[in-house]
Amino acid sequence: MICHWPATRSRFFPRFLKDVMIRPQLLVIAASVMLAHAAPSAMAAATAKTAPAAAVSAQNPLLKASPLPFQMPQFGLIKDEHYAPAFAEGMKRQLAEVNAIASNRQPATFENTIVALERTGQLLHRVQSIFSNMTSTNTNSVLEAVEVDVSPKLAAHGDAITLNPKLFARIDTLYAKRDKLGLDAESLRLLERYHTDFVRAGAKLSDADKEKLKAYNAEQAGLETAFAQNVLKETNAKSIVVDTRLELAGMTDSDIDTAATAAKERGLTGKFVIALVNTSGQPPLAVLTDRKTRQRLMDASLNRGSQGGEFDNRAIVLKLAKLRAERATLLGYANYAAYSLEDQTAKTTTAVNTLLSELAKPAVANARREAADLQQIVDAEKGGFQVAAADWAIYTDKLRKQRFNFDENELKPYLELNSVLNNGVFFAANKLYGISFKQRTDLPVYNPDVRVYDVLDANGKPLALFIADFYARGNKHGGAWMNEYVSQSSLMGTHPVVANQLNIPKPPAGQPTLLTFDEVTTMFHEFGHALHGMFSNVKYPRFAGTSVPSDFVEYPSQVNEMWAVWPEVLQNYAKHYQSGAAMPQELLDKVTAAKKFNQGFMTTEYLSAALLDQRWHQLAPSQMPTDVLAFEAASLKDAGVDYAPVPPRYRTSYFSHSFSGGYSAAYYAYLWSEKLDAESVNWFKENGGLTRKNGDWFRSKLLSRGGSVDALQLFRDFRGRDATVEPLLERRGLNAK
């Protein structure tokens, strides 16, 4: 299972524009280029809304910490026009705070420099956390225009901090004598991280090169924002319209009704709309029996961002790849991937290339064997065609039914959303960690479907607030992710407010929300991220929760997936939504037996995307291609993964993980994390599985530590040794000769 939206990190640090969302878009960083992409009407609306900044300031709920529990945002009071003046005031206050530190005539100390920096920017951090979350979950034309307006200002603001020579001189002085300061381990690590972050941000460059870097930062982030907004807008615009129910044969009546409702909302009464999700594969492909409809859907998905028109991302990709390479070269690196990986646990492009290349050949070989099995079914049915990408999902389901005598539709009546959440996700967390959940209806939310829960620790004390936003919307980015509205920090006296975002189609009123098993696994996965945030127990905001390398952050959440199929948990939530009858043991056994099924496809589609990400970002500025699609095709062929029935999970033109921030040059991270995950799952099994003792050990040694300790050391502290690759190969069925 691959989490759809990985952890993002701004190029700064927690009090400096920290983006705490587990998603691929860094939508609130420099975006001067986006001025050319904003719709005039949206810009006019934003201008009209934000012009009287002084008039709204006194009533602006963003300007002070929320009085709600754990400083949960006051969604009921926050209006679109509040963001722009709050951003302006936040930047103003932080620059004043930072300049006071840099100009302090007292000799630099850990307290008056590093700790003081950790305390700066509280207003800006609060505004950005809420705003960036809203532009992903509940955006509109006004917020998009505000985003365009504020992005270049944020870029300049960040550069004013990280490229401040007086400030860096104080940090550098402390770093030079760090071993003589008598700091505790977390404080020493904080000092070292600040020094590293400033150096990587260009603090040691000449004045002339700093000016070049500022220009790169502004244009690069603007292109990232343009890419992200194009993907979202085209995903909505490219939804396919179907004329008859017959063309949707194979879909459930409920899903067809949902498609009819979506069409009606667009003024297409009597027709049906199938909305796209962010991945290349589309869920309806697993059930649609009309091959023409399948092919239309597959083509619409694969062609996004590359067919001309206002949403075409190819020119943006070429500019962005070159800018990233030039920026990395300016900072002293061979290419952008080398720059990015230095700050990950992988460290080098050689390490990543080795991992991906070792898996590519067996993965594609498995996929070809799987395709041959699918072709046998097509031929037996006298289909008269060769298996293509649009056919893979539906014929895989048929093959699954043949081999294991079940299909996905048999599972769905036993996978009702509320039961999965309460009797599965929450149940497993209670068994492992002793925490409990109580839904609250007295706190404001930004959409009626959003839920809020008190999270109580094993001792009964409040631990966190958990926000659940499960349904898809047209103004919500696709995929699934976790984000933090408030991060834990003993220095700041804050407690976690974390959220999980999924994109489950909302059924018509009065009908149950029945999930696919993939959606169930995704719910467990994202809650693993939430646990990482909720269990944080660190002093400094810089290290809170998921503030770990991108190739480590998916690891704890992948571990949490194991409980979705753990017998005690599965039997507790997998009950028929009408009768309450437990899922038959025979069906449970088949679900377990099928875990390695279709792994050739799943590994190949993931590897293809990860390889593309690396190929784009391992280019030097002088090596840039001129044709995006030709470079993509050549890269896949060179890596041995150019297998048309299994397209990359994301093609270049809608690869938001890679080209709108977050996981650029780091999409390999899911596989890197899975190596640790596979080892950890074995550890849980070896030590008795779902027990408080095991949960408390995982929490104390790893989940609670955030980024306060080196990531791989955290794994060693938990597991007792380094990870090996064999459990991963065995899990994915790639160890067969």
Per-residue pLDDT, 10 = 33
| pLDDT tens-digit readout, 330-381 | 999 999 999 999 999 999 999 999 999 989 999 999 999 999 999 999 999 9
Per-residue pLDDT, 194 = 98
Same domain? For 263 and 209 the reply is no
Same domain? For 146 and 203 the reply is yes
Per-residue pLDDT, 702 = 97
Per-residue pLDDT, 736 = 56
Tokens of 53: 């900044």
In a domain, 16, yes or no: no
Taking residues 556-564, what's their average pLDDT? Answer: 96
Taking residues 110-124, what's their average pLDDT? Answer: 97
Task: Looking at 381-425, list the stretches that DSSP marks H as alpha helix, in order from N- to C-terminal side.
Answer: 389-404, 408-411, 417-420
Question: How far apart, in whole angstroms, are the C-alpha atoms of residue 595 and residue 587?
Answer: 13
Question: How far apart, in whole angstroms, are the C-alpha atoms of residue 434 and residue 456?
Answer: 9
For residue 223, the domain's CATH number is 1.10.1370.40
Q: Is the pLDDT of residue 35 over 50?
A: no
- How many C-beta atoms surround the C-beta of residue 698 within 10 A? 22
Tokens of 551: 């190739």
Taking residues 578-601, what's their average pLDDT? Answer: 87
Give residue 17's region: left, alpha or beta (phi > 0; psi -120 to 50): left
Last residue within a domain, chosen from 282, 302, 322: 302
Q: Is the pLDDT of residue 420 over 80?
A: yes
Tokens of 179: 């071993």
Alpha-carbon distances of 403 from 218, 381, 397, 566, 597, rounded to whole Å: 54, 17, 10, 22, 10
Alpha-carbon distances of 579 from 214, 574, 588, rounded to whole Å: 62, 12, 17
Q: Is the pLDDT of residue 50 over 70?
A: no
Same domain? For 36 and 177 the reply is yes
The number of distinct structural domains making up the chain is 2
Per-residue pLDDT, 725 = 83
Q: Is the pLDDT of residue 407 over 80?
A: no
**Whole domain around residue 176: which residue ranges?**
32-232
| pLDDT tens-digit readout, 168-219 | 999 999 999 999 999 999 999 999 999 999 999 999 999 999 999 999 998 9
Q: Is the pLDDT of residue 52 over 80?
A: no
Same domain? For 149 and 270 the reply is no
Tokens of 632: 């993509």
Per-residue pLDDT, 238 = 79
Question: Is 59 exposed, middle or buried, given 0-12, 13-18 or 19+ CB atoms closer than 10 A?
Answer: exposed
Computed over every residue of the chain, the mean pLDDT equals 89
Per-residue pLDDT, 18 = 35
Taking residues 245-271, what's their average pLDDT? Answer: 93
Taking residues 93-97, what's their average pLDDT? Answer: 97
Confidence class for position 494, pLDDT limits 50, 70, 90: very high
Active site positions, annotated: 526
Question: How far apart, in whole angstroms, are the C-alpha atoms of residue 362 and residue 737?
Answer: 9
Confidence class for position 687, pLDDT limits 50, 70, 90: very high
Question: How far apart, in whole angstroms, are the C-alpha atoms of residue 485 and residue 127?
Answer: 10
Confidence class for position 733, pLDDT limits 50, 70, 90: confident
Higher pLDDT, 26 or 71: 71
Last residue within a domain, chosen from 270, 302, 334: 302
Taking residues 548-572, what's their average pLDDT? Answer: 94
Report which residue type is found at 435: I
Alpha-carbon distances of 104 from 38, 101, 108, 109, 425, rounded to whole Å: 42, 5, 8, 11, 50
In a domain, 425, yes or no: no
Tokens of 702: 């790893």
Same domain? For 215 and 103 the reply is yes
The DSSP result for 565-634, as a single string, is S-HHHHHHH-B-TTT-PBPPHHHHHHHHHGGGTTHHHHHHHHHHHHHHHHHHHT--GGG--S-HHHHHHH
